[in-house]
Amino acid sequence: MKMKLKPILMLSAGILFTMVSCQKKETNPLLMEFNTPFNAPPFDKIKVEHFEPAFIEAMKQHKMEIETILKNTEEPTFENTILELEYSGELLSKVSNVFYPLTSALTNAEMQAVSQKIAPLFSAHNDDINLNPELFAKVKAVYEKKDALALNPEQQMLLTKIYDGFVRGGANLAADKQQRFREINESLSKLELKFSDNVLAETNSYKLVIENKDDLAGLPEGVIAAAAEAATKADMDGKWIFTLDKPSLIPFIQFAQNRELREKIYKGYYMRGENGNELDNSEIISQIIPLKVERAQMLGYDNPAQFILENTMAKTPEAVNGFIKKLWDPALLRAKGEAYDMQKMINKEGGKFKLASWDWWYYSEKVRKAKFDLDEEMLKPYFSLEGVKKGIFLLTEKLFGLQYTKLTDVPTYHPDAEVYEVKEADGKHIGILYMDFHPRESKRGGAWMTSFRDQHITKTGEFVTPIITIVCNFTRPTGDTPALLSLDEAETFFHEFGHALHGLLANTTYPRLAGTNVPRDFVELPSQIMENWCTNPDFLKMYAFHYSTGEVIPDELIKKMEASGTFNQGFITVEYLAASILDMEYHTINEVKSVNAKEFEKAAMAKFGLIEEIIPRYRSTYFNHIFNLGYSSGYYSYIWAAVLDADAFEAFKETGNVVDPETAKKFREFVLSKGGTEDPMELYKKFRGAEPKPEPLLKRRGLI
């Protein structure tokens, strides 16, 4: 299914230019002003060897800026302490916001080596700031008189977040405990990076090579052609290669008639990081969890989830677990019914086996075809990548008046990446958008949005526009056939574009509060509401055209899509919730002890009664979300936000026009533009007029 991420860079500064020595300027483009259109990163000049010295220089400058704050003998104020802190580290943010997106989208052994070297340095640098007693004393002095400062709401939020950041960063710990705190942070920075590198390496190392054409039975021609192209690139002409990239894996387990091969590739997928080799992540998990527990308890919490959830909409582990439980029971019941239907089909066909996890995709596709006369291959011709992109552009033009101009004079980090200028209806520049669509070995799996530069206003009052990127792993074009997306891929494109809008349409003062810098269980609202338009019958007629004939998607096909709208939702909800449960189980451990990942996962799933025909969407040893990408104790947030997005889309439907510009204007004003400047529930209520109701989501998924 989908993996949608927004990597968060935990830096305090915006992305502005800081002058450095002439010598360094001449040799390192990262330490120079970006003299490119819109000041985009000069990817054509940046080399791997530039990053380490750039980081070292940037950290050095950041330390000097902190020293300037400390040497100020005046009484600490919002201006001379809080604002100076917020705008410090500008060069470090600039370098980081180029480097870290590339470690996901265009990595290699050299980049990974730099990451491993920089990770402990970065951890120590952040700790040097967070654990500086003199600096914290200044921040605390301002915070304690916040009620008398006449700050506006955004300034109040900035002050609170900076103060909380110090407290949560260990500033109140005794000196002896601070040393241990530093050690934990350094260890986690290395372990989490190694975990992610192992997942990528394990994914890239797997190849299912097919030599007998009979083993391709059932597979669509486009899938076979893509596998043949992959084999040709690997100097295996006449053979077919399938990988663990979703555009290769999913069609294989959906359509391949050879059950043994479906089992083989699916096991290759779900055994990643658990093969007892040098890429095994089991031992890394056994080290990460006790370190997280120890750190949380040092800060006064029982477990990591208590610590992490304190600053979210959910607030507590109990609230998250209660929310999951309400959805789990009806979803599991529905999934058991779906499994029953598939077992009936197996028996009817004379199969002498029990439905297994590697059968689910194949037989659910067959059941859908039998029940609704609908399968993925009937839909794909209407969802070409170019057509979906045009549809998204059309949607955002109708909703927000946005315009897009493709650019050819802006450097890109890879030939696959496209660049667009985004403008208001009146032609005013909004920002720059990179889009990178297809799998490659240098890119990790899934789909995500991040930024090369966040929107903000500088200390001197200059409005800095954002540079946003979305990265996906969609089916590539084959031969004369363009890239045709599955419905899941099309929804993913809409989803990630929602994140991009959150970054592009930001209108805040401080970089810390801009765009997607919001609680994890609110950040998915702008992305998930976009998915509603992807399959909305009214909007489908505006953008879904057959790639070769130009024919609009027929009403008959739309009706079949609507009729099958709740099909397989038991499975989809259960496999997702199972991963959310696994996340919460790990992060509500209250003891500092080693964890056997395999046994822990098995016990957690048994505790909730997960049926053996379904495995969690992400098993422990490749669960990047929670072990490296900032979603620990937060994977539930996708379905938490689904309650928000289903309720929010009702606001459009209630107008009788799903692209109503007035409703879109309110959504932009109170959600997309505000970033983290206010409490998210208060922002939602300003848009909707009330707190969200869960009924629209449950109805949409067929769970009531």
Q: Answer yes or no: is 18 within a domain.
A: yes
Task: Give me 180's structure tokens.
Answer: 């241990």
pLDDT in tens, 648-678: 999 999 999 999 999 999 999 999 999 999 9
Distance CA 494, CA 499 (A): 9
425-453 confidence digits (pLDDT tens): 999 999 999 999 999 999 999 999 999 99
In a domain, 610, yes or no: no
Return mean pLDDT, the chain: 94
Bridge-partner residues for 463, per DSSP? 457
Number of domains in the chain: 2
The whole-number pLDDT of residue 700 equals 87
What pLDDT is recorded for position 26? 56
Specify which residues 431 forms β-bridges with: 422
Query: Which residues have C-beta within 8 Å of that of residue 490, sequence separation ≥ 6?
Result: 383, 388, 534
What does the pLDDT average to over 352-373? 97
In order, the DSSP letters of 396-453 are: HHHHH--EEEE-SSS--SSTT-EEEEEE-TT--EEEEEEEE-S--TTS-SSEEEEEEE
Q: What is the mean pLDDT of residues 466-474?
A: 98
Judge whether 107 lies within some domain. Answer: yes
Residue 672's pLDDT is: 98
Q: Is there a single domain that holds both residue 236 and residue 147?
A: no
Same domain, 154 and 222: no
Residue 380 lies in a domain: no
49-73 residue pLDDT tens: 999 999 999 999 999 999 999 999 9
- DSSP character at residue 512: G
Full residue range of the structural domain in which residue 111 is found: 8-175
Residue 264 within any structural domain of the chain: yes
- Annotated catalytic, 67? no
Is 23 in the same domain as 104?
A: yes
pLDDT for residue 173 is more than 80: yes
User: 315: Cβ–Cβ under 8 A, 6 or more apart, which residues?
Assistant: 309
245 shares a domain with 171:
no
Q: What is the DSSP letter of 477?
A: P
* Same-domain pairing of 235 and 139: no
Residue 695 has a pLDDT of 85
Higher per-residue pLDDT: 3 or 31: 31
Q: Is residue 690 part of a domain?
A: no
Q: Are residues 214 and 145 in the same domain?
A: no
Residue 699 is predicted with a pLDDT of: 85
What band does 18 get if pLDDT is binned at 50, 70 and 90? very low
Q: How many helices (H) and strands (E) does the chain have?
A: 29, 10
In this structure, the answer to whether residues 110 and 32 fall within a common structural domain is yes
Catalytic residue among 376, 496, 585, 601: 496
Q: How does residue 703 score in pLDDT terms, banded at 50, 70 and 90?
A: confident
Q: Is the pLDDT of residue 571 over 70?
A: yes
The residue from 251, 270, 289 where one domain ends is 270
Count of CB atoms situated within 10 Å of the CB of 299: 17
Give me 570's structure tokens. 């038991």
Confidence check: pLDDT of 11 > 50: no
Please indicate, yes or no, whether residues 98 and 246 belong to a single structural domain of this protein: no
More confident: 693 or 614 = 614
Q: Does residue 145 sit within a domain? A: yes
Q: What is the pLDDT of residue 14?
A: 33
Query: Residue 499 in contact with residue 529, Cβ under 8 Å?
Result: no
Q: Is 4 helix (H, G, I), strand (E, B) or coil?
A: strand
Sequence-ordered alpha helix ranges (H) in 131-233: 133-144, 153-168, 175-205, 221-233
